[in-house]
Amino acid sequence: MNTNRNNHVVLLGIGIVLMLAALPARWMTIHNATVTGLNTVFNQQTLHITGLNGSITLGLKVATWVIVLVGVSALFLLILNTLKVTALSKYLVLIPLAFSSIYSAASIIVGLGSEQTTMAFGGFLIPLGSAIGLYVFILNYLQNRPA
Whole-angstrom Cα Rg for the chain: 18
45 strand-pairing partners: 33
Cα 44 from chain centre: 29
Average pLDDT, the chain: 83
pLDDT in tens, 122-136: 888 988 999 999 999
Q: Residue 49 in 3-state DSSP? A: strand
Measured in degrees and rounded to the nearest 5, phi and psi for residue 52 equal -105, -25
At residue 44, the pLDDT reads: 58
Please list, in sequence order, all residues whose beta carbon lies within 8 angstroms of the beta carbon of residue 61, skipping any fewer than 6 positions away. Answer: 55
* CA-angle at 109, arms to 105 and 115, nearest 5°: 150
Task: Report yes or no: 140 and 124 within 8 Å, Cβ to Cβ.
Answer: no
pLDDT in tens, 77-104: 999 988 889 888 888 889 999 999 898 8
At residue 144, the pLDDT reads: 67
Task: Report yes or no: 43 and 31 within 8 Å, Cβ to Cβ.
Answer: no
Q: What confidence category does residue 109 fall into, taking pLDDT thresholds of 50, 70 and 90?
A: confident
Q: What confidence category does residue 10 fall into, taking pLDDT thresholds of 50, 70 and 90?
A: very high
Please report, as a single letter, which amino acid is at residue 134.
L
**Average pLDDT of span 65-74:** 93
pTM value > 0.85:
no
Q: Which of 43-47, 97-101, 122-126, 137-141 has the lowest mean pLDDT?
A: 43-47
